[in-house]
């Protein structure tokens, strides 16, 4: 986007700690990332949580009459409440008034609103939620998709996930040639159910990606793969399990530090290391998951997101915009000069 300032619409009413933590994270992103912020929601509630004498430069409050509750059925809620904050935020992207949208509210509602308001990218049958996980290699991350958008997946959906994930890994995560894996119960080509076997065949034949092979559960965090594809049912279980493991490990580290004066001295010495451990393991440090495959940059945050998570979600959105993720994914599915379509003819 050159020197143009990235404009991000955020559902200020979405999440367990809305709007206070949402607004705090957004203001930090404005200050540190230089983005323009569109806070979408109830103006009175938003203004009530603004710090005294807040400079509203590069901040706009966009009124929304309603919000989608966490216990509402997502699709019906989105349709019944056209002026809900998530719908208004999506419309800002659709109308070109914002470059990206973020919500830490009802994830199902966010996905439904994205599909209804933004639509799918040409050539993409199903969008996928991609989440970044730490690995055993310090400087390396792995992108897992789908982690919740599609409970059941056809083989061609998984192939599309791999192409989108490869683009994101290359241009946002900085991996020159992302290694793609298919989550399965064994390394052999013939392992898994019929869908897994057929997906393996499609991935192997796709010249647009560097498909390595099947990835077993023990391989997910090994660093051997840059992108791993799976259906949303398995991916969501994996995501929640990984979040729990991260919290358990952080708690174990806290409990095992020595107590008293020696503990205080030791903690002070180890503080930089402990901070790096937290950054690698805490899901809040990643900000959220990118909904790949819709015609707009959409970040779905954790429902318990607080200001640091919102800040990191804003950073993630800005990186996706700056690196033209949408355009690069779309280019993979455009008609080549020869007239052949890639890879949307896959079955």
- What is the band of 48 on the pLDDT scale with cuts at 50, 70, 90? very high
Give the total number of structural domains in the chain: 2
- Please compute the mean of the pLDDT values over residues 222-236 and round it to a whole number: 94
Phi-psi region of 336 (alpha: psi -120 to 50; beta: other; left: phi over 0): beta
Pick from 248, 263, 283: which residue ends a domain?
Answer: 283
- Please compute the mean of the pLDDT values over residues 180-208 and round it to a whole number: 92
pLDDT of 342 strictly over 50: no
Domain limits for position 21? 7-124+293-330
Omega before residue 51 within 30° of 0, cis: no
- What is the band of 339 on the pLDDT scale with cuts at 50, 70, 90? very low
The answer to whether residues 141 and 252 belong to one domain is yes
* Phi, psi of 244, deg, nearest 5: -65, -40
Where residue 88 sits, what CATH number does that domain have? 3.40.718.10
Inside any domain, residue 342: no
Give the percent of the chain with pLDDT over 90: 61
Inside any domain, residue 343: no
The answer to whether residues 302 and 272 belong to one domain is no
Treating both helix axes as pointing N-terminal to C-terminal, what angle do 260-281 and 232-256 enclose, rounded to 10 degrees? Answer: 160
For 62-93, how does the pLDDT look when each residue is reduced to its tens digit (9 = 90+)? 999 999 988 899 899 999 999 999 999 999 99
Rounded Cα gap, residues 128 and 84, in angstroms: 23
Per the CB < 8 A criterion, the answer to whether 158 and 229 are in contact is yes
The answer to whether residues 152 and 274 belong to one domain is yes
pLDDT at 255: 72
pLDDT at 332: 81
DSSP-derived 3-state class of residue 41: strand
For 11-37, how does the pLDDT look when each residue is reduced to its tens digit (9 = 90+)? 999 989 989 999 999 999 999 999 999
* Phi, psi of 135, deg, nearest 5: -130, 180
The answer to whether residues 165 and 235 belong to one domain is yes
The answer to whether residues 118 and 159 belong to one domain is no
The answer to whether residues 60 and 175 belong to one domain is no
């Amino acid at each position: 986007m050159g020197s143009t300032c990235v404009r991000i619409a955020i559902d200020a009413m979405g999440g367990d700690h809305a709007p206070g933590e949402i607004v705090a994270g957004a203001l930090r992103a404005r200050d540190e990332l230089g983005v323009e912020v569109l806070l979408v929601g109830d103006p009175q509630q938003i203004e009530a949580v603004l710090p005294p004498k807040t400079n509203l430069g590069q901040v706009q409050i966009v009124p929304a009459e309603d919000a989608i509750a966490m216990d509402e059925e997502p699709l019906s809620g989105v349709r019944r409440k056209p002026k809900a904050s998530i719908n208004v935020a999506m419309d800002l992207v659709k109308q070109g008034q914002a470059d990206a949208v973020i919500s830490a509210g009802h994830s199902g509602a966010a996905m439904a609103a994205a599909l209804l308001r933004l639509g799918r990218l040409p050539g993409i049958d199903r969008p996928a939620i991609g989440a970044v996980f730490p690995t055993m290699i310090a400087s390396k991350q792995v992108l897992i998709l789908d982690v919740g958008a599609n409970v059941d997946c056809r083989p061609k959906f998984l192939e599309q996930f791999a192409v989108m994930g490869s683009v994101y890994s290359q241009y946002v995560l900085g991996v020159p040639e992302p290694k793609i894996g298919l989550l399965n119960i064994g390394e052999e080509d013939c392992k898994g159910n019929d869908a897994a076997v057929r997906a393996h065949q499609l991935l192997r034949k796709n010249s647009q990606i560097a498909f390595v092979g099947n990835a077993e559960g023990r391989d997910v965090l090994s660093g051997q793969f840059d992108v791993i594809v799976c259906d949303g049912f398995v991916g969501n279980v994996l995501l929640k399990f990984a979040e729990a493991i991260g919290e358990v490990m952080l708690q174990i580290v806290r409990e095992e530090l020595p107590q008293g004066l020696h503990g205080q001295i030791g903690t002070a010495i180890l503080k930089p290391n402990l901070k790096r451990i937290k950054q690698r393991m805490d899901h809040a440090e990643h900000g959220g998951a990118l909904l790949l495959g819709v015609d707009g940059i959409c970040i779905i945050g954790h429902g318990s997101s607080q200001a640091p998570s919102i800040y990191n979600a804003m950073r993630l959105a800005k990186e996706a915009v700056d690196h033209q993720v949408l355009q690069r994914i779309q280019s993979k599915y455009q008609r080549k000069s020869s007239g052949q379509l890639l890879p949307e003819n896959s079955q």
